[in-house]
Amino acid sequence: MISDKLLKFYINGDWVTPLGTDRAGVENPATEDIIAEVALGSEADADRAILAARAAFDAYTLWPVAERIALVQRILDIYTARYEEFAQAMSLEMGAPIDWARGAQAWAGQVHIESTIQAAKEMQWDYARGSTRIVHEGIGVCALITPWNWPMNQIACKVAPALIAGCTMVLKPSEIAPLSGALFAEVCHAAGVPAGVFNLVNGTGPVVGARLSAHPEVDMVSFTGSTRAGTAVAAAAAPTVKRVAQELGGKSANIILPTADLAAAVTGGVEGCFGNSGQSCDAPTRMFVPRAAHAQALDVARAAAAAVVVGDPQAAGTTMGPLISKAQYDKVQGLIQSGIDEGATLVCGGTGRPAGLNRGWFAQPTIFGDVTHEMTISREEIFGPVLAILPYDTVEDAVRMANDTVYGLAAYVQGPLAEARAVGRRLRAGQVNLNYPDWDTFAPFGGYKQSGNGREYAGWGIHDFCETKALVGYGEA
């Protein structure tokens, strides 16, 4: 049973007993029941995993690229064979509706591994530029710190490119949602990842995360999480001048142009905001609509929200599950109340659980209209199913407000393509989505400003885990 593995760590090719004794309950957020216990690592546990990764690096990084690609292909094959287990684990640990767990959460892990393999096959790893030889090689030992909201998306986006680049690593999944991480460690073991190349230690950010970030034998930290935690990671890493790649918070603007199909644009924006219970860093949580169309936009948004089915993640037809925890539920409730207190128009939803749900961390799908740029719900990342609709007078005003934020992870523009392209070029965000395109796992993903640095997905992720060496005077090949 995978729950048994939660009381051990995967270090140097084996499941080992933690050196510390701390544990925490793993909660099913839909029921508030404790479904397992997870061991919380100590600094000594982190050190043991780091040293195993360091000892494995010299041999593994010399593997030919083709062999590293073949290793990741074996991981993909086993992941695919155990796909339903991953979907069920994420539905259980984070409350994702089972259809969403299958079609988005488990799929994300699979498709990112596939994209990374394809990019690795197309990448120039070793080539001449005049008489200089350019070589891309693994940076070294990597600490991979991943969040609870997209567990396999982020694990795959870090582990697959790190393995292909020739790195060794220590993964710290979120201790709140550790089931899928333990499953992934089983997959890596079954695929024949050499001892020490991939290690997993569960634990808290202030203990294990801090030790991984500061340890002198770690060459790179790849972190996904809140901006607050990201600054702590960067500060801990600074004395050893290690590379830090971060994918942090967001408050993504969704500009609906005056020439857009308002009904389709608003409906798509509501669906995008409420997906994953609003717990996505790139969710389009600020919707800008022309002032003249504001009242109509609220009507469309209300109807779209009414179609959301909140409830048991395992029940057929459920489209929204709970928030991850009581702490997250309380935070979202406080921010909804701030919207009410600051005078925004409550279009639907509000504080408290949806009708008929008296257990589990379920929030109401909530929409505010008449939001002003200065309101708290327009400035702070909520990380819940809460949409702020802001009226604008000119497109220039919309662009100005969209960019007036400390965040810059994603942005969205709806309208005729030529106009959307022009506006998209003016938005200060790492990824701008025009007219709700399909998810492109080959496009770089990462943020401007306090949304982070570095880029993930496919070849972009591989490059982040590589050093670039110039052999000057190398001559002809």
- Render pLDDT for 448-458 as a digit per residue (tens, 0 to 9): 999 999 999 99
What separation in angstroms does the CA of 85 have from each of 38, 78, 176, 415? Answer: 18, 11, 18, 40
- Render pLDDT for 371-427 as a digit per residue (tens, 0 to 9): 999 999 999 999 999 999 999 999 999 999 999 999 999 999 999 999 999 999 999
Quick one: what percent of the chain has pLDDT higher than 90? 99
What the chain holds in terms of domains, given with CATH numbers, is 2-248+451-471 (3.40.605.10), 253-441 (3.40.309.10)
- Render pLDDT for 311-358 as a digit per residue (tens, 0 to 9): 999 999 999 999 999 999 999 999 999 999 999 999 999 999 999 999
Looking at residue 412, what DSSP letter applies? E
- How many Cβ atoms sit within 10 Å of the Cβ of residue 291? 14
Burial category of 226 from C-beta neighbours within 10 Å (exposed 0-12, middle 13-18, buried 19 and up): middle
Q: At what angle do helices 262-274 and 294-306 cross, to 10 degrees?
A: 50
Give the separation between CA 354 and CA 177, rounded to whole angstroms.
24
Residue 97 DSSP SS3:
coil
From the list 187, 153, 166, the residue with the least C-alpha distance to 53 is: 166
Q: How confident is the model at residue 1 (pLDDT cuts 50, 70, 90)?
A: low
Q: 412 - beta bridge partners?
A: 254, 433
Q: Is the pLDDT of residue 2 over 90?
A: no
Residue 213 DSSP SS3:
helix
- Identify whether 281 is a catalytic site residue: yes
Q: At what angle do helices 65-81 and 107-122 cross, to 10 degrees?
A: 160
Looking at residue 425, what DSSP letter applies? T
Give the separation between CA 371 and CA 363, rounded to whole angstroms.
20
- Dig out the tokens for 436 from the structure: 């709700």
What separation in angstroms does the CA of 13 have from each of 198, 199, 220, 432? Answer: 8, 8, 21, 41
Q: What are phi and psi of 203, to 5 degrees?
A: 160, 180
- Render pLDDT for 20-49 as a digit per residue (tens, 0 to 9): 999 999 999 999 999 999 999 999 999 999
pLDDT of residue 82: 98
- Dig out the tokens for 396 from the structure: 């220039």
- The secondary structure of 221-271, three-state, reads EEEECCHHHHHHHHHHHHHHCCEEEEECCCCCEEEECCCCCHHHHHHHHHH
Strands 410-414 and 431-434: parallel
- Render pLDDT for 427-466 as a digit per residue (tens, 0 to 9): 999 999 999 999 999 999 999 999 999 999 999 999 999 9
Q: Are 271 and 429 in contact (CB under 8 A)?
A: no
Residues 6+ apart with CB under 8 A from 97: 91, 313, 318, 319, 320, 321
- Identify whether 167 is a catalytic site residue: no
- Render pLDDT for 148-189 as a digit per residue (tens, 0 to 9): 999 999 999 999 999 999 999 999 999 999 999 999 999 999
Catalytic residue, chosen from 142, 157, 167, 281, is 281
Q: How confident is the model at residue 477 (pLDDT cuts 50, 70, 90)?
A: low
Give the separation between CA 49 and CA 12, rounded to whole angstroms.
7
Mean pLDDT of the chain: 97
Quick one: what percent of the chain has pLDDT higher than 70? 99
pLDDT of residue 476: 80
Looking at residue 426, what DSSP letter applies? T
The DSSP secondary structure of 98-144, one letter per residue, reads: HHHIIIIIIHHHHHHHHHHHHHHHHS--EEEETTEEEEEEE-SEEEE
Catalytic residue, chosen from 27, 137, 247, 381, is 247
- Render pLDDT for 71-122 as a digit per residue (tens, 0 to 9): 999 999 999 999 999 999 999 999 999 999 999 999 999 999 999 999 999 9
Residues 6+ apart with CB under 8 A from 191: 71, 74, 75, 77, 78
pLDDT of residue 145: 98
pLDDT of residue 349: 98
Burial category of 417 from C-beta neighbours within 10 Å (exposed 0-12, middle 13-18, buried 19 and up): exposed
452-453: strand order across its sheet: 14-16, 9-11, 198-200, 168-172, 141-145, 220-224, 243-247, 452-453
Q: Are 452 and 109 in contact (CB under 8 A)?
A: no
pTM for the full predicted model: 0.96
Give the separation between CA 320 and CA 278, rounded to whole angstroms.
9
pLDDT of residue 325: 98
